[in-house]
Amino acid sequence: MFINFLWPVILTATLTASIANNSTRKKLWIGAFFTVDISDGGWSSAGVLPAVEMAIEDVNNSTILQDYELHMEWRDTKCKRGYGIRQLVDLLELPSDKSPIMLIGGGCSVGTEATAEVSHFWNLIQIAFSANSMYLSEQDRYPLLFRTCYTESIGNPARIAILKRYGWKNVATVYQNEGLFTLTAIHLREMLDKNNFTVISSENLAKDPTFQILNLKQKDARIIIGMFYSAMARKVFCRAYKEGMYGARYLWLIPGWFSDQWWNITDTDCTPAQIKLAAGNYIAIMESTWSTDPRLTINRQTAAELTERYFKRVDATPYTRNEYSVFGYDAVWAVAQTLDKAIPVLRAQGRMLEDFRFNDSSMSALFKSILQGLHYQGMSGEIMFNSKGDRIGSAIVKQLQGDREVKIGTYDSIHGTLILDGPSKLIWQDGAIPVDRMVVKLKLVSVSASLFIVITLFCSIGILLALGFLAFNIHYRERRFIRMSSPRMNSITVIGCIIIYFAALLSGLDGKYLSEDQYSTLCQVKLWTLSVGFTLAYGAMFSKTWRVHVIFLRRIERRSIRDHQLYGIVIALLAVDTALLAAWQVLNPFIRAIKYLPIEKDENGFEAVRPYIEYCSCDHVMEWKGVILAYKGLLLILGAFLAWETRNVTIPALNDSRNIGVSVYTVVLSCVVGLPVVLVVKDMPDFTYGLGACVCIICTTITLCLMFIPKVTFKLHNP
């Protein structure tokens, strides 16, 4: 009962002492800038104001600055440069008893750039809580500026880490032509180049993004880093929707500080649903705001408790919750700690905080040195500053899932590590991770196995047939019906035909069976076998036809032509072959070459097949082929002429002259029809190989049969 009676007395006495104490505390004023009126555009920081007021109350109720009481005089910069300067002048013209000892805010980057560029002339420290522009890191222009928020560039290491995590090496960037984004984009480009990324395109946005989106589409950009305000984002995604740049193949990385459901504002000719569809499951990156650290803050409360207090406070105002409120709260505590730590230093100099004047550079320098050494736990997490006055900390990674952005990870800029909460938390359209470009798989278009087997079978039969005829020719070479047809020349023809069969068979081998070096070697082998085989087979027939022509049709004295003279013709032809082929091989080796065929895309655009064919080629290949074909063509024409001239010659002593003529005709006609097609058509290996092999097999087989079947038939009837 006594306690119940005594408690109101104690409480009354405490409150009376507190009021008396506050009345004796000296007032210290801080100037503050917010952006409340954004009717002309810009980013609103109005929701930060309740957090700043809450921080001032907490400081005044804390154990620091016990002889002082913080008060705030704030102005609205409207996120305009000129208007921000006007508001700074207004603060500077306040009566001396309300002159600010420090400044906080700027409201947005534009307003902060304007005020911080000139506030140092009055030796005023300024601590920004919602200005991310990299321009503000320039100490020459902003020597007394600190930031409890992060510079926009903190997102760049996080972007690089995400690109590396998913193996995206080809990216495009598109950024708004504003100070906040320009330097960030330049810094990002430097990091991309340093880390060996390929920047497909870098687009600068002014007002209408149509041209830039068309350029990205033309260059098939799929992983796109966007840096712009939400109003421009709606224009960008509206245009992307109209150009069909949406779906599983595209992924955007954009700022994470847009307002909730920013796409619902209807300031374009697209519906909110269309803009959201084009944005897809974008990944958003921003500085860490709402801290989940369970440790107590400098106010002896956890960040969660402070956040709950802020929500109750801001919900009772016309303003909306703002993630940057945590930085505003921490900015006030940075001011308070700096002033508190400066008191003993100033006292040793016989000075006090209230002695500060706008021309007091020494006290300003003291404040700056104290700020650079601050390290405390704030509402937004662990706070420390680098030599440029920029906040050191972490960035959070979010992804649009449904109608809200979900936190999926954190990037620790201090240790340079990306920590994802779990791959399962990420949502990919169609269930597949996007690719940075169409995956083009090379596919060798080779000779089909079935065709190769068929040609091999026929070539093998032809070789066995030729070996049989060769054995027959050698075995019965002393018989008159064989001896009269020059058996040695017959053997040369058979050997040439066997080589041609081998050449036809080898033409079906390609990269499916051989390495690149082996294929290049095969090119030389095919060239030599086909040329030498033709020269042996056709040269022997040509020489025998020439002998018939010389003996019986020339108007000169008849004379006997021996076999060794025919050998000389064949050897001469071989010598020409050897000289031409050796020169070709030494000067411009015949090696493997590739011809790519049109790309075949799949429906979703993730993958494509690029067929290619292998063939043999070299520098000046058409010139070399022209020389060889001219030489062989001359022989064919001359052989056809001799065959035509001797078509009616029937000589028992030269019993196969008519058949040789028919063989020459066959070779000439087959080459005239098949050779141009084989040389021109390279895109269809089966057709080219099949036609070329058939020409070789048919001509060779007809030649052998016309030469030897009559002899075999004669032997069967005359054992």
User: Are 138 and 157 contained in the same domain?
Assistant: no
Q: Which residue numbers in the chain have pLDDT < 50?
A: 1-21, 556-558, 652-653, 655
d(CA 523, CA 514): 12
User: Are 331 and 403 contained in the same domain?
Assistant: no
* Torsion sign (Cα): 429, 433, 434, 438: negative
Domain final position from 388, 423, 456: 388
Domain around 493: 443-717
User: Are 337 and 468 contained in the same domain?
Assistant: no
For the chain, the first-to-last Cα distance in angstroms comes to 149
d(CA 639, CA 493): 15
In a domain, 19, yes or no: no
User: Are 277 and 136 contained in the same domain?
Assistant: no
**What pLDDT was estimated at residue 195?**
93
**Burial of residue 374, with CB atoms counted within 10 A of its CB: 0-12 exposed, 13-18 middle, 19 or more buried:** middle
User: Are 280 and 364 contained in the same domain?
Assistant: no
User: Are 548 and 665 contained in the same domain?
Assistant: yes
In the three-class reduction of DSSP (H, G, I as helix; E, B as strand; rest coil), residue 67 is classed as coil
In a domain, 17, yes or no: no
Q: How many CB atoms lie under 10 A from the CB of residue 5?
A: 8
Tens digits of per-residue pLDDT, 500-542?
Answer: 899 888 888 887 888 888 888 888 888 888 888 888 887 887 7
In a domain, 9, yes or no: no
User: Are 405 and 471 contained in the same domain?
Assistant: no
User: Are 233 and 266 contained in the same domain?
Assistant: yes
In a domain, 8, yes or no: no
User: Are 59 and 159 contained in the same domain?
Assistant: no
User: Are 143 and 157 contained in the same domain?
Assistant: no
List the CATH number of the domain containing 705.
Answer: 1.20.1070.10
In a domain, 665, yes or no: yes
Give long-range contacts, CB 8 A cutoff, 24+ apart: 417-421: 417/161, 418/158, 418/161, 418/162, 418/165, 420/165
Tens digits of per-residue pLDDT, 463-494?
Answer: 999 999 899 888 887 787 677 777 888 888 88
**Nearest alpha-carbon partner for 538 in 496, 504, 498:** 496
Amino acid at 170: N
Return the structure tokens found at 428: 């990919």
**What pLDDT was estimated at residue 666?**
67
In the three-class reduction of DSSP (H, G, I as helix; E, B as strand; rest coil), residue 651 is classed as strand
List the CATH number of the domain containing 282.
Answer: 3.40.50.2300
**What pLDDT was estimated at residue 634?**
83
In a domain, 516, yes or no: yes
d(CA 458, CA 464): 10
**What pLDDT was estimated at residue 13?**
40
User: Are 448 and 549 contained in the same domain?
Assistant: yes
User: Are 269 and 316 contained in the same domain?
Assistant: no
**What pLDDT was estimated at residue 489?**
83
Instruction: Give the chain's domain count.
Output: 3
Q: What share of the chain is helix, strand, coil (3-state, %, to 5)?
A: 55, 15, 30
